[in-house]
Amino acid sequence: MKNERMIIVRHEKLARDTHLLMLEGDLARDIADPGQFVHVKIDGFYLRRPISIADYDPLNDTVTLIYKVMGNGTKALTRFQIGENLDVLGPGGQGFPTSQIHSEHVLIIGGGIGVPPLYSTAKKLKENGVAITSILGFRSREDAFLVDEFRALGEVHVTTEDGSLGRSGRVTDALPDVKDNYQHYLSCGPTVMLKAVADLLPDKEGYLSMEERMGCGIGACFACVVESKDEKGYKRICCDGPVFKAGEVVLA
Protein backbone atom coordinates (compact mmCIF):
# COMPACT_ATOMS: atom_id res chain seq x y z
CA MET A 1 0.00 0.00 0.00
CA LYS A 2 1.14 3.54 -0.68
CA ASN A 3 0.11 6.87 0.74
CA GLU A 4 -0.57 9.49 -1.92
CA ARG A 5 -2.29 12.83 -2.28
CA MET A 6 -4.55 12.26 -5.27
CA ILE A 7 -6.20 15.02 -7.32
CA ILE A 8 -10.00 15.10 -7.67
CA VAL A 9 -10.86 15.20 -11.38
CA ARG A 10 -14.57 14.36 -11.14
CA HIS A 11 -17.09 14.50 -8.30
CA GLU A 12 -20.84 14.20 -8.81
CA LYS A 13 -24.02 12.80 -7.32
CA LEU A 14 -25.18 9.50 -8.86
CA ALA A 15 -28.24 8.64 -6.79
CA ARG A 16 -29.78 9.42 -3.42
CA ASP A 17 -26.90 9.89 -0.94
CA THR A 18 -24.56 8.24 -3.45
CA HIS A 19 -21.63 10.01 -5.08
CA LEU A 20 -18.96 9.27 -7.68
CA LEU A 21 -15.43 10.47 -6.97
CA MET A 22 -12.68 10.12 -9.59
CA LEU A 23 -9.09 10.62 -8.44
CA GLU A 24 -5.88 10.96 -10.41
CA GLY A 25 -2.54 9.63 -9.21
CA ASP A 26 0.12 6.94 -9.48
CA LEU A 27 -1.78 4.68 -7.08
CA ALA A 28 -3.96 3.56 -10.01
CA ARG A 29 -0.99 1.57 -11.36
CA ASP A 30 -0.70 -0.47 -8.16
CA ILE A 31 -4.17 -2.04 -8.24
CA ALA A 32 -3.72 -5.79 -8.67
CA ASP A 33 -7.33 -7.01 -8.78
CA PRO A 34 -10.81 -5.48 -9.00
CA GLY A 35 -12.52 -5.48 -5.62
CA GLN A 36 -9.72 -3.83 -3.66
CA PHE A 37 -10.32 -0.65 -1.65
CA VAL A 38 -8.64 2.60 -0.62
CA HIS A 39 -8.56 4.28 2.79
CA VAL A 40 -9.41 7.99 2.49
CA LYS A 41 -8.31 10.59 5.07
CA ILE A 42 -10.87 13.34 5.65
CA ASP A 43 -9.66 16.43 7.48
CA GLY A 44 -11.15 16.70 10.95
CA PHE A 45 -11.76 12.96 11.37
CA TYR A 46 -9.36 10.62 13.14
CA LEU A 47 -10.15 7.40 11.26
CA ARG A 48 -9.86 7.00 7.53
CA ARG A 49 -12.90 5.89 5.54
CA PRO A 50 -12.58 2.65 3.52
CA ILE A 51 -14.13 2.99 0.05
CA SER A 52 -14.18 0.21 -2.52
CA ILE A 53 -12.72 0.86 -5.96
CA ALA A 54 -15.49 0.94 -8.57
CA ASP A 55 -13.18 1.34 -11.57
CA TYR A 56 -9.58 2.13 -12.40
CA ASP A 57 -7.55 3.12 -15.43
CA PRO A 58 -3.78 2.66 -14.97
CA LEU A 59 -3.08 4.15 -18.41
CA ASN A 60 -4.64 7.48 -17.39
CA ASP A 61 -3.79 7.15 -13.67
CA THR A 62 -7.41 7.37 -12.51
CA VAL A 63 -9.30 5.59 -9.76
CA THR A 64 -13.09 5.85 -9.50
CA LEU A 65 -14.79 5.53 -6.13
CA ILE A 66 -18.51 5.39 -5.43
CA TYR A 67 -19.49 6.11 -1.85
CA LYS A 68 -22.70 6.51 0.12
CA VAL A 69 -23.20 9.21 2.73
CA MET A 70 -23.45 7.23 5.98
CA GLY A 71 -22.35 9.77 8.57
CA ASN A 72 -20.47 13.00 9.20
CA GLY A 73 -17.25 11.78 7.56
CA THR A 74 -18.74 10.85 4.21
CA LYS A 75 -20.97 13.93 4.37
CA ALA A 76 -17.82 16.05 4.68
CA LEU A 77 -16.37 14.21 1.69
CA THR A 78 -19.21 15.48 -0.51
CA ARG A 79 -17.91 19.05 -0.06
CA PHE A 80 -14.57 18.39 -1.77
CA GLN A 81 -14.24 20.06 -5.16
CA ILE A 82 -12.57 19.21 -8.47
CA GLY A 83 -8.94 20.30 -8.37
CA GLU A 84 -8.54 19.66 -4.64
CA ASN A 85 -6.60 16.67 -3.39
CA LEU A 86 -7.26 13.87 -0.95
CA ASP A 87 -4.91 11.85 1.25
CA VAL A 88 -5.41 8.27 0.05
CA LEU A 89 -3.87 5.04 1.34
CA GLY A 90 -4.09 1.98 -0.89
CA PRO A 91 -4.82 -0.15 -2.69
CA GLY A 92 -5.78 -2.44 0.20
CA GLY A 93 -7.06 -5.95 0.64
CA GLN A 94 -7.56 -8.91 -1.64
CA GLY A 95 -9.84 -8.43 -4.62
CA PHE A 96 -11.71 -10.83 -6.88
CA PRO A 97 -9.28 -13.33 -8.51
CA THR A 98 -10.53 -12.71 -12.03
CA SER A 99 -7.45 -14.26 -13.64
CA GLN A 100 -8.21 -17.55 -11.85
CA ILE A 101 -11.88 -17.71 -12.86
CA HIS A 102 -12.00 -19.83 -15.99
CA SER A 103 -15.70 -19.86 -16.78
CA GLU A 104 -17.86 -19.21 -19.79
CA HIS A 105 -20.53 -17.49 -17.71
CA VAL A 106 -20.43 -15.70 -14.34
CA LEU A 107 -23.29 -14.36 -12.23
CA ILE A 108 -22.75 -10.99 -10.51
CA ILE A 109 -24.93 -10.22 -7.46
CA GLY A 110 -24.68 -6.79 -5.86
CA GLY A 111 -26.72 -5.05 -3.20
CA GLY A 112 -26.71 -1.27 -2.68
CA ILE A 113 -23.24 0.14 -2.07
CA GLY A 114 -21.94 -3.40 -2.68
CA VAL A 115 -22.50 -2.82 -6.40
CA PRO A 116 -19.44 -0.57 -7.13
CA PRO A 117 -16.57 -3.09 -6.71
CA LEU A 118 -18.46 -5.54 -8.90
CA TYR A 119 -18.42 -3.11 -11.82
CA SER A 120 -14.67 -3.21 -12.43
CA THR A 121 -14.81 -6.95 -11.73
CA ALA A 122 -17.46 -7.49 -14.41
CA LYS A 123 -15.49 -5.34 -16.85
CA LYS A 124 -12.35 -7.40 -16.28
CA LEU A 125 -14.18 -10.69 -16.73
CA LYS A 126 -15.80 -9.38 -19.91
CA GLU A 127 -12.36 -8.49 -21.24
CA ASN A 128 -11.36 -12.09 -20.53
CA GLY A 129 -14.20 -13.36 -22.71
CA VAL A 130 -16.60 -14.29 -19.91
CA ALA A 131 -20.36 -13.80 -20.37
CA ILE A 132 -21.85 -11.69 -17.57
CA THR A 133 -25.31 -11.77 -16.01
CA SER A 134 -25.93 -9.31 -13.17
CA ILE A 135 -28.51 -8.95 -10.42
CA LEU A 136 -28.45 -5.47 -8.86
CA GLY A 137 -30.53 -4.71 -5.79
CA PHE A 138 -31.48 -1.29 -4.40
CA ARG A 139 -33.99 0.14 -1.94
CA SER A 140 -35.78 2.13 -4.63
CA ARG A 141 -35.43 3.74 -8.05
CA GLU A 142 -33.91 6.83 -6.40
CA ASP A 143 -31.09 4.70 -4.97
CA ALA A 144 -30.19 2.89 -8.22
CA PHE A 145 -26.96 3.55 -10.11
CA LEU A 146 -24.63 1.91 -12.70
CA VAL A 147 -27.56 -0.01 -14.19
CA ASP A 148 -26.85 1.13 -17.76
CA GLU A 149 -23.14 0.49 -17.29
CA PHE A 150 -23.82 -3.12 -16.29
CA ARG A 151 -26.25 -3.51 -19.18
CA ALA A 152 -23.39 -2.64 -21.52
CA LEU A 153 -21.61 -5.74 -20.18
CA GLY A 154 -24.47 -8.26 -20.34
CA GLU A 155 -27.90 -9.24 -19.10
CA VAL A 156 -29.12 -7.31 -16.02
CA HIS A 157 -31.89 -7.99 -13.52
CA VAL A 158 -32.79 -5.15 -11.15
CA THR A 159 -34.66 -5.50 -7.87
CA THR A 160 -35.93 -2.78 -5.54
CA GLU A 161 -37.43 -3.27 -2.12
CA ASP A 162 -40.35 -0.97 -2.90
CA GLY A 163 -40.90 -2.23 -6.45
CA SER A 164 -40.27 1.19 -8.04
CA LEU A 165 -37.69 -0.25 -10.47
CA GLY A 166 -37.40 -3.77 -11.83
CA ARG A 167 -38.64 -6.68 -9.75
CA SER A 168 -40.07 -6.02 -6.31
CA GLY A 169 -38.03 -7.67 -3.58
CA ARG A 170 -34.42 -8.49 -2.77
CA VAL A 171 -31.64 -9.76 -5.01
CA THR A 172 -32.30 -13.36 -4.02
CA ASP A 173 -35.87 -13.04 -5.36
CA ALA A 174 -34.41 -12.62 -8.86
CA LEU A 175 -32.31 -15.79 -8.79
CA PRO A 176 -35.13 -17.89 -10.35
CA ASP A 177 -35.14 -15.47 -13.31
CA VAL A 178 -31.52 -16.29 -14.20
CA LYS A 179 -30.72 -19.28 -16.39
CA ASP A 180 -28.71 -21.85 -14.44
CA ASN A 181 -25.80 -21.96 -16.88
CA TYR A 182 -23.21 -19.99 -14.91
CA GLN A 183 -20.22 -21.67 -13.28
CA HIS A 184 -19.26 -19.01 -10.72
CA TYR A 185 -21.00 -16.25 -8.83
CA LEU A 186 -19.44 -13.10 -7.35
CA SER A 187 -21.32 -11.08 -4.76
CA CYS A 188 -20.90 -7.98 -2.60
CA GLY A 189 -23.32 -6.45 -0.14
CA PRO A 190 -24.50 -6.66 3.47
CA THR A 191 -23.53 -9.84 5.33
CA VAL A 192 -27.16 -10.97 5.62
CA MET A 193 -27.45 -10.76 1.82
CA LEU A 194 -24.20 -12.66 1.27
CA LYS A 195 -25.37 -15.43 3.59
CA ALA A 196 -28.69 -15.72 1.76
CA VAL A 197 -26.93 -15.88 -1.61
CA ALA A 198 -24.43 -18.52 -0.43
CA ASP A 199 -27.19 -20.61 1.15
CA LEU A 200 -29.21 -20.58 -2.07
CA LEU A 201 -26.24 -21.44 -4.31
CA PRO A 202 -24.46 -24.26 -2.44
CA ASP A 203 -23.50 -26.11 -5.64
CA LYS A 204 -21.86 -23.10 -7.29
CA GLU A 205 -18.35 -21.80 -6.70
CA GLY A 206 -18.56 -18.28 -5.35
CA TYR A 207 -16.57 -15.34 -4.08
CA LEU A 208 -18.02 -12.92 -1.54
CA SER A 209 -16.86 -9.39 -0.78
CA MET A 210 -17.72 -8.28 2.75
CA GLU A 211 -18.64 -4.77 3.84
CA GLU A 212 -17.22 -3.86 7.23
CA ARG A 213 -16.11 -0.89 9.30
CA MET A 214 -12.33 -0.72 9.57
CA GLY A 215 -9.80 0.90 11.85
CA CYS A 216 -6.26 0.87 10.53
CA GLY A 217 -6.99 -0.83 7.22
CA ILE A 218 -3.76 -2.88 7.32
CA GLY A 219 -4.65 -5.66 9.75
CA ALA A 220 -2.94 -4.34 12.89
CA CYS A 221 -5.94 -3.25 14.98
CA PHE A 222 -8.16 -6.34 14.58
CA ALA A 223 -11.27 -4.14 14.31
CA CYS A 224 -12.67 -6.02 11.31
CA VAL A 225 -12.20 -9.64 12.32
CA VAL A 226 -14.61 -12.31 11.09
CA GLU A 227 -14.75 -15.95 12.14
CA SER A 228 -13.18 -18.38 9.66
CA LYS A 229 -13.35 -22.14 9.20
CA ASP A 230 -9.59 -22.78 9.11
CA GLU A 231 -7.24 -23.69 11.95
CA LYS A 232 -6.53 -20.02 12.65
CA GLY A 233 -10.19 -19.37 13.41
CA TYR A 234 -10.41 -15.80 12.13
CA LYS A 235 -9.73 -13.55 9.14
CA ARG A 236 -9.15 -9.81 8.97
CA ILE A 237 -11.43 -8.32 6.35
CA CYS A 238 -9.08 -5.43 5.56
CA CYS A 239 -6.08 -7.56 4.58
CA ASP A 240 -7.24 -11.20 4.27
CA GLY A 241 -10.35 -9.96 2.43
CA PRO A 242 -12.58 -8.17 1.70
CA VAL A 243 -13.07 -10.94 -0.89
CA PHE A 244 -13.33 -14.50 0.39
CA LYS A 245 -14.20 -17.75 -1.28
CA ALA A 246 -17.71 -18.84 -0.32
CA GLY A 247 -17.50 -21.08 2.75
CA GLU A 248 -14.15 -19.65 3.88
CA VAL A 249 -15.64 -17.43 6.59
CA VAL A 250 -18.67 -17.68 8.86
CA LEU A 251 -21.49 -15.41 7.75
CA ALA A 252 -23.42 -14.82 10.97
Residue 244 identity (one-letter amino acid): F
Q: Are residues 172 and 113 in the same domain?
A: yes
Q: What is the pLDDT of residue 223?
A: 82
pLDDT on residue 231: 78
Last residue of a domain, one of 196, 211, 226: 211
Residue 134, pLDDT above cutoff 80: yes
Contact of 195 with 171, CB cutoff 8 Å: no
| In the predicted structure, residue 235 carries a pLDDT above the cut 80 | yes
Is 219 part of a structural domain of the chain? no
Signed CA dihedral, 245, 91, 109, 195: sign only: positive
| 87 and 71 share one domain | yes
CATH of the domain at 69: 2.40.30.10
Residues 6+ apart with CB under 8 A from 228: 234, 235, 248, 249, 250
What percentage of residues in the chain have a pLDDT greater than 70?
100
Question: What is 79-106 written as a DSSP string?
Answer: T--TT-EEEEEEEESB---GGG---SEE
Domain that includes residue 82, residue range: 2-92
Specify the number of domains making up the chain.
2
Lowest pLDDT segment from 60-69, 135-144, 167-176, 215-224: 215-224
Is 105 found in the same domain as 50? no
Does the pLDDT at position 188 exceed 90? yes
Q: How far apart are CA 202 and CA 246, in angstroms?
A: 9
**Which one is predicted more confidently, 232 or 83?**
83
**Does a structural domain hold residue 248?**
no
- Spatial neighbors of 1 by CB under 8 A, at least 6 apart, are 89, 90, 91, 92, 217, 218
Distances (CA, A) of 167 to 61, 74, 90, 170, 178: 38, 30, 37, 8, 13
85 and 103 housed in the same domain: no
Q: How far apart are CA 111 and CA 78, in angstroms?
A: 22
The answer to whether the Cα torsion of 186, 191, 197, 198 is positive or negative is: positive
pTM above 0.85, yes or no: yes
Window from 68-77, 198-207, 218-227, 233-242 with minimum mean pLDDT: 218-227
Residue 163 has what pLDDT?
97
Distance set, CA 39 to CA 2, 3, 54, 130, 215 (Å): 10, 9, 14, 30, 10
User: Do residues 165 and 88 both lie within one domain?
Assistant: no
Proportion of the chain above pLDDT 90, given as a percent? 88
Phi-psi sector, 39: left (phi>0), alpha (psi -120 to 50), beta: beta
Task: Convert the pLDDT of each residue in 151-187 to its tens digit.
Answer: 999 999 999 999 999 999 999 999 999 999 999 999 9
- Predicted pLDDT at 218: 79
pLDDT tops 80 at residue 252: no
Pick the last residue of a domain from 92, 118, 145. Answer: 92
Q: How large is the average pLDDT for residues 200-209?
A: 96
215 vs 72, more confident: 72
- Mean pLDDT over each residue of the chain, to the nearest integer: 95
Does 214 score more than 80 pLDDT?
Answer: no
Confidence of residue 219 (pLDDT cuts 50, 70, 90): confident
